[in-house]
Structure 1
Amino acid sequence: MTLLEPITSGARRGLGRALRSRVAGEDAQTKAARIWQSEGERWFGPDDPVWRVHADAAMFPGGIRALLLQSLHPLAMAGVAAHSGYKGDPWGRLQRTSEFLATTTFGTIEHAQEAIARVRSIHERVRGTAPDGRPYAASDPHLLLWVHVTEADSFLTSFQRYAREPLSDAEADTYVEQVAVVARQLGVVDPPTTVAGLRATIEDFRPELAGTPAAREAARFLLVNPPLPPAARPGYAALAAGAVAMLPRWARRPLRLPWLPVTEHVVGRPLGGAATAVVRWAMHAEDPRQVS
């Protein structure tokens, strides 16, 4: 052991705790114990691709990418702007999403179904009229499909780019098939079960997408004015750069994001990869599976 190892270990554990607190909340350890230590049958196990993807730090840039893509559907964005409170309580929203993903991926079937029932109940109450006059409802299977495919595509894309060991083509298809299990429970009708089907579904949605003022405002909030202390902004900016570097070209202009392939290849992707590696390094010291 070198003289620096205790210092490095302490910094790593401190950063891991800080990240976990931000993502999972102050009661992160209680939630982790319920998810990991409860006895009962589970939909998925340690050898499944969905465990590998959802347990990796690549979920951070993947999540930012998913939110940017989701904002491009005017009806989905109208619901988020009116009901989610993403500006007033962004960390609370992140923590609820994180708990849902962890519970439905790693938890028992009983707990996963309880979490799904809560979300479906919330969706039933989220309805209204978009600025263009069209009605929307969070329980609409079509909008649920859009949210699902953007998340699945973003998490998979990020894992394939930033993980230490990307999935094989067959494992990637299995991942899409596995996340479809939860999507069906949430009310998605006929979700895609292969990577090809996932990408085809996103392509089918493109005529419905638009860069509304609400979408561009959400992008500015995510990328330019995140609710973070000054010390945390450089690390988040690197994750955000990695997220933007994964966006397809057609998604850039509606959100007024530049298309700079050379810069992103030389700067954006390496920054995203480095930031993801730091998060992975820190969170490994605070592995929720090692709950005492």
Structure 2
Amino acid sequence: MGDLGLFGPDSITWKVHKEPIVTMGGLRSLYLQALHPRAVAAIAQNSGYKADPWGRFERTSAYVGTILYGTMAEVELAASRVRRMHSQMRATDPRTGETFRIDEPELLRWVHVAEVESFLTTARRAGLELTDAEVDGYYTEQLRAAEMIGLNPGTVPGTAAEVAAYYAEIRPELAMTKESAETAFFLTVPPVPGNWGSRSLRLGLTLGPTRWAYFGIAGTALALLPPWARKMYGGLGWPTTDKSADLSVRGLRLLIKATLPAVPAQYRVAPMRQAALERVGIA
């Protein structure tokens, strides 16, 4: 086999991220991350996501794809760029006025856990069957990704039980702030790219088939949040909401599986994954 990078074809990580529906987990993680006052302040004060949301999405996706499927040289290069960029950034805590580095271990750990837990939870609730051992294996494998962004793996939750304990511990620090609300609204109603072809309506919003489809995706991502997180956004923590979210995300997964055969072959597998499969001899 060629360079396996951080994971490889026998990893739980490759099994989980083979599912296209996992992309929705990225959106879920952003809603979750926005509930940490310092984390959302760091994003709002340093990121140009409002001016170029789709460009930022593409850059983030490229980084995640590299971590998942890149060679070790590609992974180390991408991670070093991110570490260097983060080391130069500062933000101001909206509650205390304190200036802080955005590469504080606490913030990096929150973003990491919210992201990997969202990927895994979305895949499982969409119907991907994983044993308890595989779930723990996924979290343990992701410690390698945490280390690449500058975290000590020994300080990062590496099993499902540790992730649950981490959420219970950090919940008192989470809050709905002005920046949280603005970020969540932006995630739900982002500007429409010019090539979407939607028609303009009052209030500067646009509606069209693609916009309505995106509303459905965003609504499902929000509903997939833990009940305590939904309540912080003013939503319902009822079990019925969880059941509705499960039905929605499972339906989306089935729809993707049904439509994939009609998609041109070159678009059925993400280019980075396809390159990695070819590199390790699995065309």
Give me the TM-score of the superposition, normalised by structure 1: 0.79
Aligned length: 252
The residue aligned with 1:249 is 227
SS in 1 for 2:158: coil
Q: Give the alignment of 1:11-22 within 5 angstroms.
A: none
Q: Does the alignment pair 1:126 with 2:104?
A: no
State the match for 1:272 in structure 2: 249
Deviations 1:70-104 (A, max 9, x none): 00111100011111112111111111111111111
Q: What are the within-5 Å matches in structure 2 for residues 87-236 of structure 1?
A: 87-132=50-95, 133-163=97-127, 165-189=128-152, 190-223=155-188, 225-228=189-192, 229=196, 230-236=208-214
Secondary structure in structure 2 of the residue aligned to 1:128: strand
Name which of structure 1's ranges 183-192 and 76-85 shifts more when overlaid on structure 2.
183-192
1:234: Cα distance to partner?
2.5
Deviation at 1:105, TM superposition (A): 1.1
Query: Taking structure 1 as reference, are residues 66 and 191 closer, same or farther at Cα in structure 2, changes over 3 Å only?
Result: same
Which one is further off, 145-154 or 185-194?
185-194
Please state whether the residue corresponding to 2:142 is helix, strand or coil: helix
For residues 256-276 of structure 1, give each alpha carbon's deviation from its aligned partner in whole angstroms, at most 9, with x where no partner exists: 23445435524x432232234
CA contact (8 A) 1:173 1:193 kept: yes
Q: CA deviation at 1:155?
A: 0.7
Give 3-state SS (helix, strand or coil) of 1:183's partner: helix
Q: 1:180 to 1:221 in 2, by over 3 A?
A: same
Q: Which residue of 2 aligns with 1:32?
A: none
Q: CA RMSD in A?
A: 2.2
Mark the CA change 1:83 to 1:280 in structure 2 (over 3 Å): closer, same or farther: farther
Question: Closer, same or farther in 2 for the Cα pair 1:227/1:272, shift >3 Å?
Answer: farther
Unaligned runs of 5+ in 1: 1-37
Offset from partner CA, 1:14-67 (integer Å, 9 cap, x none)? xxxxxxxxxxxxxxxxxxxxxxxx953422111211012223222222111111
Segments of structure 2 that go 5 or more residues without pairing to the other structure are 197-207, 279-283
Measure, in 2, the Cα distance between the counterparts of 1:235 and 1:277: 16
- Shift of residue 290, structure 1, vs aligned partner: 4.7
Identity %: 38
